[in-house]
């Protein structure tokens, strides 16, 4: 079988044996893939730093039908997020984003736009001030929840006041406006009404998100961010 | 015919070891069974001996036979410097270098939102207590150079920030003996961002 070459991002990784890693990748267009990365811990030769968190890479996967584990045989970095790695608040929020994506997408289809959504919000996380790192997390979770069928309803475009029940557009900088206001300047389409009523203050946002994720996943969920 | 139940249980136990699958575990057990009648009992005695006499050092978390480990009891070690590492294996790696003469603090892991590991799961409080004791002047944060290692180092740096100690982190970047041409983009980017000035 030919290798699948596709952009990917690590959502989780677990040490296996002395030298290997089992990684959970979010791939662009092929959803979540669990794969064995042989010698990923023992040698930097094959993967370098490509298998760290917050690195988008071109994954070379040898897919195998379940229950056999696919193999990750290459990971060439495409994009990094150094701004996340240098700040504790961004690192914590970034890991919370990856964990939420992993948990929400475990049994759900993940089309290419979800991959783009995650990357866009990591990009946004790099640029928000440390006290606002909960906002990309909140928006990413709402965006994924909308994609997988949990759509909180009702909000308005901050530019014109029009309801966003037909969806919106993410601007460079993180605002969501309606399609009309975001025409030609939007970087990503946002599904209908995913941001309705979500609080933006940190403690309230984390509490809101905890309730939302708990309801969506059907089990108690803890957002690993400090509320203050 | 299947192996007897005690042998199967032993094989199952050995597969919990890192890097040991069922085939390897079976090979180990058969080796011990075929070696001599007493070989397996000797092994069991050694295991029981270790289990009964070894524990984590109450001060630093390294392996100890008493309440305090050999490092913490050694008067020749520099007590003003504490090197914080993730695991006992990291202590052994640093000791192999022969360069470091200070003490250690074994965290027992790293902070990880993905794994649900918070400060309460690690020996963070013990580290802060040691520093509060007043003898420590420098804390070296030698956690891994990946996202979780950086998170842990930044968290500890902040926690130690107002306690009057020098907080340092080992250099990361280009491995000795390697050519820049063959470095991966992630390593090279971090090496460039961590560059330092050199003299004339």
Inter-helix orientation angle A134-147/A88-105, to 10°: 10
Q: Which of residues 36-65 of A touch B (CB under 8 A)?
A: 44, 47-50, 52-55
Integer Cα distance of B26 and A98 in angstroms: 38
CA distance A52 to chain B (A): 6
Q: Do B185 and A77 lie within an 8 Å CB cutoff?
A: yes
Q: Which of residues 43-82 of B touch A (CB under 8 A)?
A: none
What pLDDT was estimated at residue B26? 94
Integer Cα distance of B98 and B95 in angstroms: 5
Count of CA atoms in the C-beta half-sphere (13 A) of A201: 3
Q: Do B184 and A50 lie within an 8 Å CB cutoff?
A: yes
Contacts of A13 in chain B (CB under 8 A): 114
What pLDDT was estimated at residue B179? 85
Burial of A143 (0-12, 13-18, 19+ CB in 10 A): buried
What are B109-154's pLDDT values in tens digits? 999 999 889 999 999 999 999 999 999 999 999 999 899 999 999 9
Is residue B147 less than 8 Å (CB to CB) from chain A? yes
What pLDDT was estimated at residue B94? 97
Q: Do A44 and B187 lie within an 8 Å CB cutoff?
A: yes
DSSP string, B143-156: --SSHHHHHHHHHH
Using the Cα atoms of residue B15, residue B19, residue B23 and residue B28 in order, give the sign of their dihedral: negative
* A130's tokens: 């440390």
How many other β-carbons are positioned within 10 Å of the β-carbon of residue A135? 20
What pLDDT was estimated at residue B54? 94
Chain centre distance of CA B172: 18
CA distance B185 to chain A (A): 6
Class of the CATH domain delimited by A86-217: mainly alpha
Is residue A72 less than 8 Å (CB to CB) from chain B? no
Contacts of A102 in chain B (CB under 8 A): 114
* A92's tokens: 């914590």
What pLDDT was estimated at residue A192? 58
What pLDDT was estimated at residue A154? 47
Would you list the domain boundaries of chain A?
A: 4-82, 86-217
For B65, B143, B145, B173, B198, the CA distances from B195, given in Å and listed in that order, are: 42, 19, 15, 9, 9
Residue of A nearest to B192 (CA): A82
Q: Do B18 and A17 lie within an 8 Å CB cutoff?
A: yes
Closest CA relative to residue B110, chosen from B82, B149, B83 = B149
Do A4-82 and A86-217 share a fold? no
Integer Cα distance of A116 and B23 in angstroms: 43
What pLDDT was estimated at residue A98? 96
Q: Do A95 and B189 lie within an 8 Å CB cutoff?
A: no
What pLDDT was estimated at residue A123? 95
Mean pLDDT calculated for residue range B39-63: 93
For residues A77-89, one letter each, b for 16 or more C-beta atoms within 10 angstroms of the residue's C-beta and e for the rest, the string is bbebbebbbebbb
Using the Cα atoms of residue A62, residue A63, residue A68 and residue A71 in order, give the sign of their dihedral: positive
Mean pLDDT calculated for residue range B78-95: 97
CATH topology of domain B5-51: Helicase, Ruva Protein; domain 3 (1.10.8)
Q: Do B114 and A82 lie within an 8 Å CB cutoff?
A: no
Candidate ranges A190-204, B12-26, B29-43, B60-74; pick with highest mean pLDDT:
B60-74
* Percent of chain B topping pLDDT 70: 100
Would you list the domain boundaries of chain B?
A: 5-51, 77-197
* B127's tokens: 């580290």
Q: What is the pLDDT along chain A (228 residues), one digit of tens a residue?
A: 678 999 999 999 988 877 888 999 999 989 899 999 988 877 666 777 778 899 999 999 998 887 788 999 999 889 999 899 889 999 999 999 999 999 999 878 888 999 999 999 999 999 999 889 999 999 899 888 878 765 444 466 767 767 676 677 776 655 667 888 888 877 677 665 455 556 678 888 888 788 778 877 888 999 888 877
Contacts of A53 in chain B (CB under 8 A): 114, 146-148
CATH topology of domain A4-82: OB fold (Dihydrolipoamide Acetyltransferase, E2P) (2.40.50)
What pLDDT was estimated at residue A193? 44
Provide the CATH number for the domain formed by B77-197 in this structure. 3.40.1360.10
């Amino acid at each position: 079988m030919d290798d699948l070459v596709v952009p990917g991002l690590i959502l989780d990784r677990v040490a296996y044996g002395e030298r290997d890693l089992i990684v959970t990748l979010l791939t662009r267009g092929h959803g979540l893939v669990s794969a064995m990365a042989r010698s990923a811990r023992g040698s930097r030769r094959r993967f370098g730093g490509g298998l760290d968190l917050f690195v988008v890479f071109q994954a070379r996967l040898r897919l195998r039908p379940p229950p056999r584990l696919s193999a990750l045989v290459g990971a060439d970095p495409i994009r990094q997020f150094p701004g996340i790695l240098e700040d504790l608040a961004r690192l914590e929020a970034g890991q919370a984003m990856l964990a939420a994506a992993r948990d929400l997408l475990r049994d759900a289809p993940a089309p290419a736009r979800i991959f783009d959504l995650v990357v866009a919000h990591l990009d946004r996380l790099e640029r928000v001030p440390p006290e606002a790192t909960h906002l990309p997390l909140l928006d990413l979770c709402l965006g994924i929840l909308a994609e997988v069928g949990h759509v909180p309803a009702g909000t308005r475009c901050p530019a014109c006041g029009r309801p966003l029940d037909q969806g919106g557009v993410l601007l460079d900088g993180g605002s969501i406006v309606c399609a009309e206001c975001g025409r030609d300047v939007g970087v990503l389409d946002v599904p209908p009404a995913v941001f309705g009523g979500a609080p933006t203050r940190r403690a309230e946002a984390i509490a809101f998100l905890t309730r939302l994720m708990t309801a969506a996943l059907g089990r108690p969920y803890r957002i690993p961010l400090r509320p203050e | 015919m299947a192996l007897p139940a005690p042998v199967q249980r032993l094989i199952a136990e050995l597969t919990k070891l890192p890097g040991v699958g069922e085939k390897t575990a079976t090979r180990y057990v058969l080796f011990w069974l075929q070696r001599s009648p007493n070989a397996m009992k000797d092994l069991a005695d050694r295991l029981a001996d270790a289990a009964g006499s070894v524990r984590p050092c109450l001060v630093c978390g390294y392996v100890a036979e008493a309440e305090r480990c050999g490092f913490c009891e050694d008067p020749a070690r520099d007590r003003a410097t504490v090197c914080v590492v993730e695991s006992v294996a990291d202590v052994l790696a640093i000791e192999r270098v022969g360069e470091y003469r200070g003490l250690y603090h074994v965290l027992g892991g790293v902070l990880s939102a993905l794994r649900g590991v918070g400060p309460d799961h690690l020996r963070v409080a013990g580290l802060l207590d040691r520093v509060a004791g007043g003898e420590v002047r420098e804390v070296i944060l030698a956690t891994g150079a990946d996202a979780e290692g950086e998170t842990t180092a930044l968290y500890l740096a902040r926690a130690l920030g107002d306690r009057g100690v020098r907080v340092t982190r080992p250099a990361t970047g280009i491995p000795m003996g390697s050519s820049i041409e063959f470095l991966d983009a992630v390593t090279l980017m971090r090496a460039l961002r961590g560059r330092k000035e050199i003299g004339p």
